Amino acid sequence: ADAARAGWAERPPPGRPKAGADPASVRAWWAGLTPAQRRWLVAHEPGLLGRLDGVPVATRDQANRLLLGARREELLAARRRLLERVPRGPVELAGLSRIGKSLAGLDALAARLAGDEQPRAYLLGLGTGGEGRAVVALGNPDRSARVLTYVPGMTAGLHDVPGELGRAARVLARCAALAPEEEAAAVLWLDYDAPDFLHEAAWPGQAQNAGPALHRFQEGLRETHDGPPGRQTVLGHSYGSLVVGTAARDHGLAADALVFVGSPGVGVAHAGELGVPPGQVWASTAPDDVIRWARPPDELARRSLLGASPVGPAIGALLGAPERELWFGQDPSHPGFGGRTFPSGRHGHTGYWAPDNPALDGMARVVLGR
């Protein structure tokens, strides 16, 4: 009776979508619910709502915040299980270190969510398995005319969320400086199993596995946006650029522009294969970025063989592969790729977000459509 007077539904609404459902069908289902049914779902099934692309951002944030305590307890329980193992070997010690870092990252994220720092943070996804996952928006993508989705690369995990969120925030701050009249939002999308080691990053499997989820997420942003469609930009750094390129190639991305920084290749030979409007594929590679040495596997094998011969260097110079070839295909920063470029200073592989790097300005201008 008290629940009824408060306007809460007493029974669960029927026909709830399954995880991975099409965002358009999720949006249609959500639109058909009463306010009371929506409140019931937030209170009783936050785990369902929190991961459904097609549910409005503010509702997903509300649901996922309710799960923060449970996610922290998952990590603590995993740590207790490892501590109970005697003797503890290298595997257990590595696991304890990983969990400790994930706890620190989760606590930092929780503090950001609880604070009054602007722009407001929205929690759109959270997981503790493996290295951990998180999807966090700065500003509300449903209300913003310009929305950036940033996909980080190798070694990214829950422990990295504060730093990676800082990168997204710097692009957003530069957008505000360039166009204070525009409402923009930036999303850190870390909802895939990023490679932890170089031998993992040498294969495209983890990028391919991430494709369906990134596709659904971008479709969900389109479905839940208020008013006219916003300009959506997807940015991939390092291995994250392969995630973005593979998703665009294999599934399509609801994006008006794609940006690749520090890329080892994006899985296609030409920008035209990525399915975005002409002239809206952008890339930047710093002059001192080590990713430039990520040569194709066949070229590395050929160089190794030639190196064993006294005349190998001379033959290699005559038969050298085009400079545009990288580990995962054509270099998106090369003119032959068919995209557009913006400059970067000498800040290495991770310095594209440095305040004095022109690449930061370039990323912001693409997000703004300038």
- pLDDT at residue 317 in the model: 43
What does the pLDDT average to over 205-217?
Answer: 97
pLDDT tens, residue by residue, 212-260: 999 999 999 999 999 999 999 999 999 999 999 999 999 999 999 999 9
What does the pLDDT average to over 109-131?
Answer: 95
Residue 100 pLDDT more than 50? yes
Residue 6 pLDDT more than 70? no
The three-class DSSP label of residue 170 is helix
Give the pair of three-digit tokens for residue 6: 């408060």
What is the Cα–Cα distance from 185 to 62, expressed in whole angstroms? 18
pLDDT tens, residue by residue, 35-62: 999 999 999 999 999 999 999 999 999 9
The secondary structure of residue 53, as a DSSP letter, is B
What is the Cα–Cα distance from 30 to 242, expressed in whole angstroms? 33
pLDDT tens, residue by residue, 70-93: 999 999 999 999 999 888 889 889
- pLDDT at residue 310 in the model: 57
What is the Cα–Cα distance from 356 to 370, expressed in whole angstroms? 20
Ranges of beta strands (E only) in the chain are 121-127, 133-138, 146-151, 184-190, 231-237, 257-261, 281-284, 325-326, 329-330, 340-341
Beta partners for 122? 137
Residue 302 pLDDT more than 50? no
What does the pLDDT average to over 201-219?
Answer: 95
- pLDDT at residue 312 in the model: 43
Helix (H) or strand (E) holding 250: helix 239-250
Residue 128 pLDDT more than 70? yes
Residue 340 pLDDT more than 60? yes
What is the Cα–Cα distance from 327 to 304, expressed in whole angstroms? 16
- pLDDT at residue 298 in the model: 53
Half-sphere exposure of 200 toward its Cβ, with a 13 Å CA cutoff? 12
Q: Which residue has the higher pLDDT, 155 or 311?
A: 155
What is the Cα–Cα distance from 109 to 107, expressed in whole angstroms? 5
CA 231-276-340 angle, to 5 degrees, is 90
- Range 228-231 contact pairs with CB under 8 angstroms and sequence separation of 24 or more: 230/141, 230/144, 230/145, 230/146, 230/147, 231/145, 231/146, 231/147, 231/256, 231/257, 231/367, 231/368, 231/369
Mean pLDDT, the chain, rounded, equals 90
Half-sphere exposure of 208 toward its Cβ, with a 13 Å CA cutoff? 8
Q: Which residue has the higher pLDDT, 198 or 65?
A: 65
Q: Does the 121-368 domain belong in CATH 3.40.50.1820? A: yes
Angle between helical axes of 205-224 and 239-250 (0-180°, round to 10): 70
What is the Cα–Cα distance from 270 to 83, expressed in whole angstroms? 51
Number of separate helices (H) and strands (E) present in the chain: 14, 10
- pLDDT at residue 214 in the model: 98
Confidence bin at 297 (pLDDT 50/70/90):
low
Q: Give domain limits for the chain.
A: 121-368
Residue 176 pLDDT more than 50? yes
